[in-house]
Amino acid sequence: MSYYRIITKCNVLFIALFLISSCELTPGEGGTSSITGKVFVHELNSSGIVIAEYYSTDEKVFILYDEDSIFDEETSTSFNGEYQFKFLRKGNYRIFSYSDINSFTNEQEQILVEVEITENNQEVTAAEIVIERR
């Protein structure tokens, strides 16, 4: 085998190893972990007094991967107020739903919880998201 072939094979191997080692997986889809949680509602009357409390059915829940500013995925709660985001990689996530601020103007605010997945095949339970309905 010539010296040139050995150098070429070594260069190809070096480039392949460099490319593989420089690929860093970021938070998001494509993993083996999941995040579950629940959305709880305080229903208020026009005076701001709680008239009912319950786990919300069919409430939209959103997830932000790492430092993203636009939501990456959404889901809805089931009959018992539970939601789940599957197939996530290690990293930091922010999960939120919307709470009513003013029923006359339909103004809402994000109620956000932060979650970290630290290992593969992890099932993380997020803190409960508590929202208000007016």
CA 79 to chain CA centroid, Å, is 20
Q: Mean pLDDT across the stretch 92-97? A: 98
15 or 113, greater pLDDT: 113
Give the residue, 91 or 46, on which the prediction is more confident.
Answer: 91
- pLDDT at position 99: 97
Q: Strand, coil or helix: what is 10? A: helix
Give the per-residue pLDDT at 21. 44
Q: Which domains does the chain have, with CATH numbers?
A: 29-133 (2.60.40.10)
pLDDT tops 90 at residue 36: yes
Sequence-ordered list of residues with C-beta below 8 angstroms from that of 67, at least 6 positions apart, any chain: none
Using CB atoms within 10 Å of the CB of residue 50, give its burial: 0 to 12 exposed, 13 to 18 middle, 19+ buried: exposed
Chain segment 44-59, per-residue pLDDT in tens:
998 999 999 999 999 9
